[in-house]
Amino acid sequence: MLYPNQTIKDNCLYIGGANTVELAKEYGTPLYVMDEDMIRETCREFKRAIYDGVGENGLVLYASKAFSCRAMYRLVREEGLGIDVVSGGELYTAMKENFPPEKIYFHGNNKTADEIELALSYGVGRFAVDNKEELFLLNELSVKRGVRAKISFRIKPGIDAHTFDAVMTGQIDSKFGVALENGEAFEIMKTAAALPGIEVVGVHCHIGSQIFTTEPFFGAVDVMVDFIARLRRELSIDIRELNLGGGYGIKYTEEDKPIAPAEMFSKVLSHLKEKCEKTGEPVPRVLIEPGRSIVAAAGVTLYTVGSVKTIKDVRTYVSVDGGMTDNPRYALYESRYTATVANRASEPQSETITLAGRCCESGDLIGKDMPLQKTKAGDILAVFSTGAYNYSMASNYNRVPRAATVFVSGGKSREVIRRESYEDIIRNDL
């Protein structure tokens, strides 16, 4: 399976015009390679899709938890998107790149007082408030500073996005947000509207991840617009902004059939406009928060094969010099990936192998029963679609240093995150 930015030349895999086998030699492995041109093009696709639907009355926020580093915030700033941050660390990194604070939306279900103070000091555009304790804390800290924090409340719309449990966040049994079904959301909006340090601007929902159909978003739109209308009718609260969250699916394997942003939003935004008309609501400002769909497909991880262990009548383990430390998604969610041997890219994938990492843990796999070329120690192995939730979820388990990240653009590469050294590993040890 190849993406449009990936090609094969002289039996080698190229990404964004750069030879991955050469990249592995130059920067070492494991190595995250991100196609910068593809990320930029995807940002533009999302922007166009929203613009075509609602013109200037919309904003794409990149959910930076998917892949967060200075170079990425710089890129997103240059492309004119806003961002969603979920921690003081993400916020700090973005501000180091002079990200316009008014385009920052601060999420998180348990923001600390220090993080809220930091966000207020930067003047972030919105707080996506999750719960009543946070609401009161934000109010208190804002009043102390003599400001009114603009908020968007995180609502659980109760939509089943037909996705797997671990990333299903829109239903009532979720740690995120307040529920509609039991009246909790209505009550808290009433409370919020009366607080002196709070300006209620919007409502927010995020119904899950890896969603491949428009229906769950139609459902979310219906529920949220009805809620906005009720707030206006019964409490005279003017909700001007609707944030529909992220969750747009990407292709990890042949079975995944993502919907292009243009098609997704022409449908979802038409549905929104119709729903608003029926309800007598003005069309709110629309925000979306794609994370995975901006970066996942642009990323490839390169490894060096260390051993090939065939256990007769059982399975073949191909072990590489990375694993759950750079990609914990199989260990966490049994996520599926596609791989190729980068220096044998035109050869047929005649084997079925289990791709194992180097950690002292049996569950340290990148995938089971994956098709692959015949391979041997020293080969360079490429795993596709690792641009999201890989580097950002990497760890130092077994004191393995984190891998480097390079951006490629027009066939040229540059390091954007340095490989960690053993010195980095002991830096905070006392």
Could you list the active site residues? 360
206 interacts with ligand LLP by CB under 6 A: yes
Q: Tell me which of 64, 93, 131, 293 binds ligand LLP, using CB under 6 A.
A: 293
111 interacts with ligand LLP by CB under 6 A: no
* Footprint on residues 361-390 left by ligand LLP (CB under 6 A): 389
**Token representation of residue 427:** 């830096």
The residues that bridge with 8 in the sheet, in sequence order, are 13
**Sole window of 74-82, 113-121, 132-140, 286-294 interacting with ligand LLP (rule: CB under 6 A):** 286-294
Give percent helix, percent strand, percent coil of the chain, each to the nearest 5. Answer: 35, 25, 40
Q: Tell me which of 170, 202, 291, 299 binds ligand LLP, using CB under 6 A.
A: 291
DSSP state of 280: T
**Sole window of 34-42, 255-263, 269-277, 285-293 interacting with ligand LLP (rule: CB under 6 A):** 285-293
Cβ distance to ligand LLP smaller for residue 83 or 408: 83
Cβ distance to ligand LLP smaller for residue 292 or 344: 292
**Sole window of 6-14, 17-25, 239-247, 313-321 interacting with ligand LLP (rule: CB under 6 A):** 239-247
CB of 206 to ligand LLP, least distance (A): 4
What would the x/- binding string for ligand LLP be over residues 49 to 88, using CB under 6 A? --------------x--x-----------------x----
Cβ distance to ligand LLP smaller for residue 229 or 393: 393
Residues 6+ apart with CB under 8 A from 56: none
Question: Position 417: which residue type?
Answer: I
CB of 208 to ligand LLP, least distance (A): 8
36 interacts with ligand LLP by CB under 6 A: no
Helices 36-54 and 261-279: crossing angle, nearest 10°? 20
157 interacts with ligand LLP by CB under 6 A: no
* Alpha-carbon gap, residue 196 to 141, rounded angstroms: 11
DSSP state of 44: H
DSSP state of 248: B
259 interacts with ligand LLP by CB under 6 A: no
* Alpha-carbon gap, residue 223 to 280, rounded angstroms: 15
User: Count of residues for the chain?
Assistant: 430
Residues 6+ apart with CB under 8 A from 100: 77, 82
142 and 192 Cβ atoms separated by less than 8 Å: no
271 interacts with ligand LLP by CB under 6 A: no
Q: ∠ CA 20-24-26 to the nearest 5 degrees?
A: 110
Cβ distance to ligand LLP smaller for residue 18 or 211: 211
**Sole window of 4-12, 30-38, 117-125, 245-253 interacting with ligand LLP (rule: CB under 6 A):** 245-253
Number of residues that bind ligand LLP (CB under 6 A): 19
Cβ distance to ligand LLP smaller for residue 107 or 344: 107
* Footprint on residues 315-344 left by ligand LLP (CB under 6 A): 329
**Token representation of residue 237:** 């609260």
Closest C-alpha among 109, 115, 122, 55 to residue 89: 115
CB of 217 to ligand LLP, least distance (A): 12
**Sole window of 6-14, 241-249, 315-323, 375-383 interacting with ligand LLP (rule: CB under 6 A):** 241-249
Q: How far is CA 114 from the centre of its chain?
A: 24
* Alpha-carbon gap, residue 99 to 83, rounded angstroms: 9
Q: Among all chains, which residue has been given the structure tokens 């065939």? A: 310
Give the Cβ contact number of residue 100 at 10 Å.
14
**Dihedral of the CA atoms 68, 74, 80, 83 (nearest 10)?**
30
CB of 169 to ligand LLP, least distance (A): 6
246 interacts with ligand LLP by CB under 6 A: yes
Binding site for ligand LLP (CB under 6 A): 63, 66, 84, 107, 167, 169, 206, 209, 245-248, 289-293, 329, 389
